[in-house]
Amino acid sequence: MKEDRPRTSAVISIYAPSYGAFSIFFNKGGFAVKNILHNVFLSIGLGTVIFVPMLIIDKGLNDTLVSVLIWFGASILYGLSFTLLKLKTKLRLPIHILSCFLLTLVVRCGYSYYSKGSIDFTRLFLITIPIFILIYMLMYFYMRYFGNVEFIKKNKETSSDTQAEK
């Protein structure tokens, strides 16, 4: 006897206003790329919190784990930097970019000093700029279309807020 299961059909939508760009829907939007990516990044974060202390316990604190801990701490600060995007100024995005860049540069300088005993600031600065821009653009794209952080408020929301206040 054949089971009657509902067929699962996938619809790929280039733009769906209620779910954002590049969404994949299965059975009335039960699964969306936004939810999948959120769960993946959450799992990576939780896995890191669990995995790093276990490595330190098993292997001891070597140079590689010190590097991981330094960037783990920086990741926490990057996460906290998203509160800057809640500022009520048009400069919130440039402020966020600058703060993240400075954090990256400070961490790279600190790690360079820790590992080599000296800092070649010009070299670190010139290497950090293109890598930071590329990674920030990728993260901006992810957060803009799949995340829940508002980088730029839409004109409708801004005008409706000002009309509500009047």
Domain ranges of the chain: 61-150
What is the C-alpha separation between 67 and 65, in angstroms, rounded?
A: 5
For residue 136, give the amino acid letter. Y
Q: Work out the pLDDT band at 47, boundaries 50, 70, 90.
A: confident
Residue 158 CB contacts under 8 Å (≥ 6 apart), including other chains: none
pLDDT computed for residue 12 by the predictor: 38
Q: Which two tokens stand for residue 68?
A: 């991981």
Element (H, E) at 12: strand 10-16
Structure tokens that stand for 20 in this block: 């954002």
Q: pLDDT digits over 67-91, tens only?
A: 888 888 888 888 888 888 888 888 9
pTM over 0.85: no
Contact (CB, 8 A) for 20 and 44: no
Structure tokens belonging to residue 161: 């807020």
**Per-residue pLDDT averaged across 105-115, rounded?**
90
> Token pair 């059909």 is at which residue?
9
Confidence of residue 62 (pLDDT cuts 50, 70, 90): confident
pLDDT tens across 115-152, in order?
888 999 999 999 999 999 999 998 888 777 776 666 55
